């Protein structure tokens, strides 16, 4: 079973960029027909799918995030990343990375505040 671990700053100032990394262990990010996802959950709210990168390195984004989101993969480090620009308080959430819907990271809380 693969393990995923999110990492990144827990506090980001408004208008700045949120950057998170998901390190994958116990399996290669290049193997299998998987989608590597980012999902977030605002405090007390439901789950929101942000985007994913497929096994063929095709990237899909939630249109609601428009041009603010970037997902990249670094196969040499077996990790993928999330970048969210121009953040506001509404981007405060627990951010999860996941392999398809099967394997999930523990989540990391990112607070947007000055």
Question: For binding to another protein (CB under 8 A), which residues are involved?
Answer: 37, 39, 46-49, 52, 60-64, 96, 98, 101-102, 104-107
In the complex, the smallest distance separating the C-beta of residue 76 from another protein, rounded to whole angstroms, is: 26
CB nearer another protein, residue 91 or residue 105: 105
CB nearer another protein, residue 90 or residue 102: 102
In the complex, the smallest distance separating the C-beta of residue 13 from another protein, rounded to whole angstroms, is: 26
DSSP letters for the chain:
--EEEEE--SEE-TTS-EEEEEEEESS-TTSSS-EEEEEEE-TTS-EEEEEEEETT--EEE-GGGTTSEEEEEETTTTEEEEEE-S--GGG-EEEEEEETTTEE---EEEEE--
In the complex, the smallest distance separating the C-beta of residue 114 from another protein, rounded to whole angstroms, is: 27
CB nearer another protein, residue 45 or residue 77: 45
């Amino acid at each position: 079973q693969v393990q995923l671990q999110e990492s990144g700053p827990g506090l980001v100032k408004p208008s700045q960029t949120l950057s998170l990394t998901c390190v994958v262990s116990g399996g290669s990010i290049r193997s299998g027909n998987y989608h590597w996802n980012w999902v977030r959950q605002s405090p007390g709210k439901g789950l929101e799918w942000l985007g994913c990168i497929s096994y063929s390195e095709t990237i899909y984004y939630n249109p609601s995030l428009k041009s603010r989101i970037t997902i990249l993969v670094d196969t040499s480090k077996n990790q993928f990343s999330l970048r969210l620009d121009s953040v506001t308080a509404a981007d405060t959430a627990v951010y999860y990375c996941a392999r398809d819907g099967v394997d999930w990271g523990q989540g990391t809380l990112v607070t947007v505040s000055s």
